């Protein structure tokens, strides 16, 4: 069975059909891996994978990054353990609110993520989409002088910083604020380890830039974010239960879109570790 790859029409992303991810042979995997490097975001409608099959698919991309409670796959959901919907001022909902800001996964960790796999299980009747943006195309669209300037800059990525901007004070050891000390320092232009394509490496966790005062850094970073996160460099997916997506955190930004929290939303997320040779912080 041959894959069908339909580019989204934005500068990133493709929808792939005519494949069963639960029964992936090596030849088909190579086609998916090539499409992943080209499109950076792949959406597979109506796969309805079991937790085990999602994990096996994620492992094709590399080693799993364990997020919490030693679980390889975590639920992103507004439903609590007791089955009731969570309050907006609960700790978990504040973590989820952060996902509505443009970000790339684990940039605030000493080792940033390679990729993320996300599947839809319960979706609200409206809203709750996921949107992705293409910092490769954004870099390409900048003029040479700006590209040269940005290539010499680095930025600190801090979970404490990004949540504090939302009014959410995170303590060391809480949420994803795992460590004390200097936050990870990362280049502002990341060269993709497999394709060698440069991309802006930004997002809500990035705040300070060494050698620049904080206001100037925030202004530059927010201008780069607005420039990146607009058409034709964005793509939004309206989830149906059973859909699964994978994106490349080394060169893609993403965010969750709002929805009515009186409705349930359940997404399952599996994260793939970065390569220590290319995804380690400069100060790690
Ligand atoms: C994620 C994420 C957004 C969403 O899975 O890393 O940010 O739409 N998800 O739930
Ligand atoms: Mn995320």
pLDDT tens across 242-280, in order?
Answer: 999 999 999 999 999 999 999 999 999 999 999 999 999
- Residue 77 phi, psi (nearest 5): -150, 150
Q: For 201-224, what is the mean pLDDT?
A: 97
Q: Is residue 282 in a domain?
A: no
Q: What does the pLDDT look like over 16-28, one tens digit per residue?
A: 999 999 999 999 9
Residue 280 lies in a domain: no
In a domain, 281, yes or no: no
* Shortest-distance ligand to the CA of residue 237: 1
The crossing angle, in degrees rounded to 10, of helices 51-61 and 26-39 is: 70
Confidence of residue 176 (pLDDT cuts 50, 70, 90): confident
What pTM does this model have?
Answer: 0.97
pLDDT confidence tier of residue 222, bands split at 50, 70 and 90: very high
Confidence of residue 239 (pLDDT cuts 50, 70, 90): very high
Whether residue 177 is predicted with pLDDT greater than 90 in this model: the reply is no
Find out whether the beta carbon of 129 lies less than 6 Å from any atom of ligand 1: no
**Residue 187, in any domain of the structure:** yes
Pocket test for ligand 1, best of 98, 116, 124, 203 (most atoms within 8 A of CB): 116
CATH number at 183 reads 3.60.130.10
| Closest residue CA from atom 2 of ligand 1 | 99
Q: In the chain, pLDDT over 90 holds for what percent of residues?
A: 91
Per residue in 135-162, pLDDT tens? 999 999 999 999 999 999 999 999 999 9
Is 267 touching ligand 1 by the criterion CB < 6 Å? yes
Domain count, the chain: 1
Ligand 1 centre to CA of 180 (Å) is 25
What is the 8-class DSSP label of residue 63? Answer: P
Q: Which domain covers residue 120, as residue numbers?
A: 4-274
Whole-number Å distance, alpha carbon 114 to ligand 2 midpoint, is: 12
Identify the residue whose C-alpha is closest to ligand 1 atom 10: 256
Best of 124, 264, 269, 271 to mutate for ligand 1, by most ligand atoms within 8 A of CB?
269
Q: Is the CB of 105 under 6 A from ligand 1?
A: yes
Residue 75 located in a structural domain: yes
Task: Supply the pLDDT for residue 174.
Answer: 81
Query: Is residue 70, in this structure, part of any structural domain at all?
Result: yes
Please say if the pLDDT value at position 133 is more than 60.
yes
List the beta strands (DSSP E) in the chain: 4-7, 14-17, 41-44, 64-65, 73-77, 113-122, 130-133, 154-156, 185-187, 189-191, 198-200, 234-237, 244-248, 253-256, 266-273
| Burial label, 240 (beta-carbon count in 10 A; 0-12, 13-18, 19+) | exposed
| In the predicted structure, residue 1 carries a pLDDT above the cut 60 | no
Question: Does the CB atom of residue 268 touch ligand 1 within 6 A?
Answer: no
- Residue 56 CA to residue 256 CA, distance in Å, equals 25
Which residue's alpha carbon is nearest to atom 8 within ligand 1? 256
Pair 261, 78: CB distance under 8 Å: yes
């Amino acid at each position: 069975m041959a894959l069908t790859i339909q580019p989204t029409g934005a500068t990133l992303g493709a929808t792939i059909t005519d494949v069963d991810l639960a029964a992936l042979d090596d030849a088909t995997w190579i086609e998916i891996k090539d499409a992943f490097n080209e499109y950076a975001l792949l959406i597979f409608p109506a796969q309805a994978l079991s937790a085990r099959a999602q994990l096996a698919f994620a492992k094709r991309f590399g080693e799993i990054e364990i997020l919490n409670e030693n679980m390889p796959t975590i639920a992103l959901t507004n439903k609590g353990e007791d089955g009731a919907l969570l309050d907006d001022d609960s700790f978990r909902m504040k973590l989820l609110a952060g996902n509505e800001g443009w970000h790339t996964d684990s940039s605030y960790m000493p080792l940033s993520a390679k990729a993320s796999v996300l599947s839809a299980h319960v979706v609200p009747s409206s809203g709750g989409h996921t949107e992705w943006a293409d910092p490769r195309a954004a870099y390409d669209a900048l003029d040479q002088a700006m590209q040269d300037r940005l290539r010499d800059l680095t930025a600190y990525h801090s979970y404490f910083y990004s949540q504090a901007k939302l009014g959410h004070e995170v303590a060391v050891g809480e949420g994803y604020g795992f460590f004390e000390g200097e936050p990870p320092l990362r280049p502002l232009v990341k060269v993709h380890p497999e394709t060698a394509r440069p991309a802006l490496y930004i997002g809500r966790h990035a705040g300070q830039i060494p050698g620049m005062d904080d206001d100037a850094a925030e202004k530059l970073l927010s201008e780069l974010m607005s420039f990146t996160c607009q058409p034709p460099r964005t793509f939004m997916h309206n989830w149906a239960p059973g859909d699964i997506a994978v994106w490349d955190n080394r060169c893609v930004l993403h965010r969750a879109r709002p929805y009515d929290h009186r409705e349930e939303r359940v997404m399952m997320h599996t994260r793939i570790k970065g390569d220590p040779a290319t995804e380690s912080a400069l100060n790690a």
